[in-house]
Amino acid sequence: MASEHQLSAIKGAKVLMVGAGGIGCELLKTLALSGFKDIHIIDMDTIEVSNLNRQFLFRQSHVGQSKAKVARDAVLKFRPHISITPYHANVKDPDFNVDFFKQFNVILNGLDNLDARRHVNRLCLAAGVPLVESGTTGFLGQVTVHVKGKTECYECQPKPAPKTYPVCTITSTPSKFVHCIVWAKDLLFAKLFGDKSQENDLNVRSTDASSSSQQIEDVFERKIDEDIEQYGRRIYDHVFGYNIDLALSNEETWKHRNRPRPIYIKDVINTEFIHRNGNLDYNSVAGDLSPVSAMASLGMKNPQDLWSLKENSQVFLEALKLFFSKREKEMGNLIFDKDDQLAVEFVTAAANIRASSFGIPLHSLFEAKGIAGNIVHAVATTNAIIAGLIVIEAIKVLQNDIKNYRMTYCLEHPSRKMILMPVEPFEPNKQCYVCSETPLTLEINTHRSKLRDVVEKIVKAKLGMNLPLLMHGSALLYEVGDDLDEDEVANYAANLEKVLSELPSPVTGGTILTVEDLQQELKCSINIDHREDFDEEKEPDAMILSGWTQAPAPEKNDNGASTSGLTEAATSLNTEEDDDELQIIPTQTGKKRKLSDISIAHISDSSCVTSDAKIKRNAEETDISTDLVMLDDVDSSNNKKRREGQ
């Protein structure tokens, strides 16, 4: 039962939620039922049918509508006297600036990508508003508290490269080739050749939501009198043409995204080819064990060749035909196997056709085969647990109860009688360029590298700045913004194409660049260190940034599945909100640290989770009580002594 002091803090608080998906739905419900009276929600997404199995505030009739607005309406039905303000928008929009953030007492994140997390972290630091971060991956989850000057910020520790992708992204708005691979492998391949009884989001579209499940399944059923060529063309037109046309009818989805291009078979391959496609021998001997290959049938040999749209379409139709003619007995039981040549050919072709539709660069079969990972399904219960922990930490923040702040891990299996493992937050990292303003060092050949290289590869890609401004002393080298006149835009565009040493204010060894993002109110210095030569294999960008720590590259174990690992910077349970089912889990390697030294490293588009076994081993190295199960039971005295002793 909440105390009077807690109730007073709750009722007087103004809270901003960022994200209204898996965690967001649970969080809004918990906030409302806990007594919060003034809640604001930002989310740019619309509701997909694939959200409905766990984002419980949404119903079938809501498909295609704003998540933030529908979530508000749903909660007001059982808490009509509270104020909920929804924003169907991107949190990175200029309207949501530092002044906007300053009006809130605490910010609660339920995001699903690294870029947005970093942006919110920086705005919270600039506004001086506490941030409660969160994330889930399957049965694993975590909640962390970030308070300026008191605890480490979200970026105090390095983050693995994004590798996590929501199903709504996979099915509706792919932006990377890996999205297309997952779609082709786990949705299309499974729909055509796998277990028909399994649920599949492939054919579910926003404007199609009223269709019955039987109508949806009929599209992929081969009719009795339908030959293979006709069936292949119909499937092709449906998934690459008709479904894209349906997606385009939802204008709301494409307000902030590039529109895809529907592709129909008649626009790619002529009818004559389709009827004589390949060199199939339907009377081949039943015992023929030679590998079935669409590439071989079409006379293609090199798996490293980049196929055109026409060639991908030919491989798609040929592979589908081979599955039905040569491997009919396996139909309904097939599971994608990267060692199955025909399966890889089909998935590569399908992924490339979809990529072409969405304006994504195509990949060779060799490259496509290498893009693989484990699939982790979202668990609604984990989202509910994490939402509860977020509210607990938010109440502590509102009471300024610093000594009881905790970052808490939700484990899949009990560890020393604990499912929830709380750890005291850490002090700010003095080497963090975001919250400690530590200067960075950039090794670069100032006579060869252009300003564009620095802006794109360093300032935007690594430092995560959206609207950067670069200065050398009092000279402004580059700036972006809507308030620039034509001459300024032309001048800065010209600077981008100049090598550093030939800029109006030359950048050479010993130069100090000032880099600033006015929207994030973030500013840092970069010391330029001229370096003549770089190793093309190990240092392909020909520039090395120090003071900013790159997360280790993912690696796979022997069976091709990803494994959890440890970084030198942090032995952590790294999770993020799995806003939908599909995720690709990367691996990290490094040195162990005690649990008392654990630090958070959320990720975007990816989740890297430490296995329960590793957490158990680390737990045994600490003096945390084995009776510690719930967050509020934590005795912080031991942890406090450890921190003071560091």
Query: CA–CA distance from 596 to each of 142, 343, 561 (Å)?
Result: 16, 46, 29
H/E stretch holding 494: helix 486-496
Q: Side-chain half-sphere of 449: how many Cα atoms within 13 Å? A: 28
Flag whether 54 is marked binding: yes
Flag whether 360 is marked binding: no
Distance, in Å, from the CA atom of 418 to the CA atom of 552, rounded to the nearest integer, reads 29
Confirm whether 168 is a catalytic residue. Answer: yes
Flag whether 267 is marked binding: no
Give Dmax (Cα) for the chain. 83
Per-residue burial over 85-116, b if 16 or more Cβ lie within 10 Å, else e, is ebbbbbbbeeebbbebbeebbbbbbbbbbbeb
Cβ atoms of 570 and 159 within 8 Å: the answer is no
Flag whether 580 is marked binding: no
Flag whether 491 is marked binding: no
User: Residue for token digits 């930490």?
Assistant: 393
Flag whether 374 is marked binding: no
Pseudo-torsion of CA 537, 541, 545, 546, nearest 10°? Answer: 0
CA 9 to chain CA centroid, Å, is 34
Flag whether 43 is marked binding: yes
User: Residue for token digits 């690459």?
Assistant: 240
Flag whether 180 is marked binding: no
- Residue of 25, 124, 168, 410 with catalytic role: 168
Distance, in Å, from the CA atom of 385 to the CA atom of 383, rounded to the nearest integer, reads 6
Flag whether 401 is marked binding: no
Tokens of residue 235, six digits:
């499937």
Flag whether 21 is marked binding: yes
Flag whether 117 is marked binding: yes
Flag whether 339 is marked binding: no
Helix (H, G, I), strand (E, B) or coil at 523: strand
Query: CA–CA distance from 285 to each of 151, 290, 320, 331 (Å)?
Result: 70, 11, 20, 19
User: Residue for token digits 């939501």?
Assistant: 209
Flag whether 432 is marked binding: yes
Flag whether 113 is marked binding: yes
- Per DSSP, what are the bridge partners of residue 418? 415
Flag whether 20 is marked binding: yes
Flag whether 23 is marked binding: yes
Flag whether 25 is marked binding: no
Question: If you ran DSSP here, which 8-state letter would residue 221 be given?
Answer: S
Flag whether 24 is marked binding: yes
Helix axes 380-398, 4-11, angle to 10 degrees: 100
Flag whether 350 is marked binding: no
Query: CA–CA distance from 314 to each of 46, 73, 192, 228, 276 (Å)?
Result: 35, 48, 17, 14, 11
Cβ atoms of 387 and 408 within 8 Å: the answer is no
Burial class of residue 215 in the structure, from the number of CB atoms within 10 Å of its CB (0-12 exposed, 13-18 middle, 19+ buried):
exposed
Cβ atoms of 599 and 426 within 8 Å: the answer is yes
Flag whether 362 is marked binding: no
Cβ atoms of 580 and 166 within 8 Å: the answer is yes
- Per DSSP, what are the bridge partners of residue 543? 444
Catalytic residues: 168
Residue ranges for the binding site for Zn(2+)? 153, 156, 432, 435
Residue ranges for the binding site? 19-24, 43, 51-54, 67, 112-117, 153, 156, 432, 435
Residue ranges for the binding site for ATP? 19-24, 43, 51-54, 67, 112-117
